[in-house]
Structure 1
Amino acid sequence: MLAQINQREVSRVDTPSIQPGLSPAHKVRPLVESNDQIATDPFLLLMEDWFPIGVFDRHPHRGIETVTYIIEGAVDHYDNHGNSGQIAAGEALWLTAGRGLVHNEVPANDKPAHLLQLWVNLPAKSKMAPARFQEIHASTLPVRREDGVEVRVFSGSSGSAVSPTSNHAPVTMVEILLQPSATFRQELPAGYNGFVVVLEGDGKIGASQTPVAAGQVAWLTRCAEESNVSFAGGDRPMRAILFAGLPIGEPIVARGPFVMNTVDEIDAAYAEYRRVGQGFGAL
């Protein structure tokens, strides 16, 4: 007899509100906040932003990966390692800050952008890894299709669809497009901590079919073994993104754009940035 796969439930549903941003033209919705990093490990925060050109300037990072997913519009990106490019709606930029970089993401074509940005913690062994970027374009995304279901795999896997995205901290990121009559199950590796962001429509998540709708974030129960989470269509087509990752379980010291394991490491990051400025992390 085959072993029964554990079914995840929804542990809670958050309904974050839109808040004023850095300027009158900037709006932000904190989808995952940084005030309980044991509960959200390996994820540090997730913000939803609506912004025009000029809101953000060049800024540094160290010790994390950032994942930028474009909901509407397009973004030009560049960094001090000589990398640049553009990602459009339905695409993502997976940026490893590692030992350090200075970068910016600017709305393209003089039009405002609407995006999600996730900060993923790096384990201590990878915090000083060389910086790198990975553009994940729609044309190259692995896709899993079932009746009434399309799953676009940005990282990790879904069924036989496997993403080539490289991670220092293992992460599954899949976008799920679900029609009202459809059902679907996404497998999750043992121990992964996960949540679902509903971008459009409505549906039901988990073995008990907890209802969710656009603008909500559903956190999943933990499971030490291999498991899956079920999705069922609601009254309207649902578009959602599942993020799941293996908790790191290490000390976190965060100050501004730097996330390390000790205060001394944070102090060293700021000292290096003050010393070399825009050349931070480039060597």
Structure 2
Amino acid sequence: MPDQDICSYINEPRLVARKFLARPQHEGVGAVVRRSIGRFELKYFDPFIVLDEFSVTAPAGFPDHPHRGFETVTYMLQGAITHEDFEGHKGTIEAGDLQWMTAGRGIVHSEMPAAQGTQKGLQLWINLASKHKMIEPRYQEMLSKDIAETMIDGIKVRVIAGEALGIKSPIYTRTPTMYLDFTLKPGAHLQQIIPKSWNAFVYILEGEGVFGNQKSQPVTSHHILLLGSGDGLEAWNKSSKVLRFILVGGEPLGESVVQFGPFVMNTQEEIDQTIDDFENYTNGFEKARHWRSESAISLDY
């Protein structure tokens, strides 16, 4: 079986090095996020800048705002979000859909609710190496039906990026990254390899699970678990309900990081230049001078 082949390579399971609860905070205009990476307990986890579990109900949302120097990965869990940007790209991502956006040298966009009720999802910011920070913006989008998925021995995985249980994602990651959405039925036991040199974490979406060592205490939803050294993750669902979590890993860049809100560069001088570029509509932000999203116009943001 594919999972047995993969599991046989795990010699040193990663233990949980740190864990904490992602508490709600306000972000955007009226939106609520549970931020686990990018807050005071964990300002940066190379190469990851931010992880938000967001919850937004119209007219709240994330109106027109800029980015430079990294990628945003938006994965919808419930409802739908419409994205617009100054390059003319517009689309709606619904539950289970994925958008992998490379901001590169600069983008201004909006992300607003596209359905009734509350929209929920995850947004991960992945840093770009200095050599990639000023590349042209681009998108990779996948509908839910096109995301690689399989189920073996009570374990379902959706492979957003990387490989698990013998299946691979077609998503291209400039910063080498794995992003796996696991659902474990009661009694299921997972073993998943992770490159030894990568940083990795678990974020629990639903239920409770045991991670790293089966004698550890169960951890519940909205907790982030930073994994220590090793070559793989072991997880158990010892409860009577399903356990759902994401496992994310990435190759550390090992470069200096200077962040000013939605801009992430390597030096303060580059941040100063980015602010100047944005304020003067230059060097990648030219189209921002005359652009406003349709949602911003209709809501008069």
Q: Fold conserved (TM > 0.5)?
A: yes
SS of corresponding position for 2:62: coil
1:59 aligns with 2:65: yes
- Which runs of 5 or more structure 2 residues have no equivalent in the other structure? 1-7, 289-301
Give the AA of the match of 1:146. I
> Quick one: which of 170, 174, 184 aligns to 2:176?
170
> Is the CA contact 1:179–1:233 (under 8 Å) kept in the aligned structure 2?
yes
SS of corresponding position for 1:31: strand
1:137 aligns with 2:137: no
> Is the CA contact 2:209–2:238 (under 8 Å) kept in the aligned structure 1?
yes
Q: Deviations over 1:252-282 (max 9, x none)?
A: 11111110011111111111111128x7166
Question: Aligned runs of 1:82-121 on 2, under 5 Å?
Answer: 82-121=88-127
Residue aligning to 1:268: 273
Q: Which moved more, 1:104-113 or 1:249-258?
A: 104-113
Change (3 A) 1:133 1:282: farther
> Quick one: which of 1, 5, 16 aligns to 1:10?
16
Change (3 A) 1:282 1:131: farther
1:229 aligns with 2:236: no
SS of corresponding position for 2:93: strand
1:46 aligns with 2:58: no
Q: Which moved more, 1:133-142 or 1:47-56?
A: 47-56
1:242 aligns with 2:242: no
Q: Distance in 1 between matches of 2:10 and 2:34?
A: 38
Q: 1:166 deviation in Å?
A: 1.0
Change (3 A) 1:177 1:200: same
Q: Deviations over 1:54-87 (max 9, x none)?
A: 4321111000101112121111112112212111
Q: Distance in 1 between matches of 2:28 and 2:140?
A: 27
Q: Distance in 2 between matches of 1:175 and 1:21?
A: 25
> Is the CA contact 1:159–1:187 (under 8 Å) kept in the aligned structure 2?
no
SS of corresponding position for 1:264: helix
> Quick one: which of 21, 27, 32 aligns to 1:27?
32
SS of corresponding position for 1:251: coil
Q: 1:161 deviation in Å?
A: 0.7
Q: 1:96 deviation in Å?
A: 0.5
SS of corresponding position for 2:259: strand
Q: Tell me the TM-score normalized by structure 1.
A: 0.90
Q: Distance in 1 between matches of 2:119 and 2:43?
A: 31
Change (3 A) 1:183 1:254: same
Q: Distance in 1 between matches of 2:211 and 2:278?
A: 44
Q: Distance in 1 between matches of 2:75 and 2:210?
A: 23
Q: Distance in 2 between matches of 1:29 and 1:149?
A: 26
Q: Distance in 2 between matches of 1:87 and 1:181?
A: 33
> Is the CA contact 2:74–2:121 (under 8 Å) kept in the aligned structure 1?
yes
> Is the CA contact 2:77–2:121 (under 8 Å) kept in the aligned structure 1?
yes
Give the AA of the match of 2:112. V
Q: Deviations over 1:24-49 (max 9, x none)?
A: x5322112234477861100111222
> Is the CA contact 1:207–1:229 (under 8 Å) kept in the aligned structure 2?
no
> Is the CA contact 1:70–1:116 (under 8 Å) kept in the aligned structure 2?
yes
Q: Which moved more, 1:206-215 or 1:167-176?
A: 206-215
Give the AA of the match of 1:43. F
> Is the CA contact 1:142–1:163 (under 8 Å) kept in the aligned structure 2?
yes
Matched-pair identity in %: 36
CA RMSD after TM alignment? 2.3
Q: Which moved more, 1:232-241 or 1:110-119?
A: 110-119
Q: Tell me the TM-score normalized by structure 2.
A: 0.85
Residue aligning to 2:294: none
1:216 aligns with 2:220: no
Q: 1:147 deviation in Å?
A: 1.1
Residue aligning to 2:264: 259
Residue aligning to 2:293: none
- Which runs of 5 or more structure 1 residues have no equivalent in the other structure? none
> Is the CA contact 1:206–1:231 (under 8 Å) kept in the aligned structure 2?
yes
Change (3 A) 1:10 1:64: same
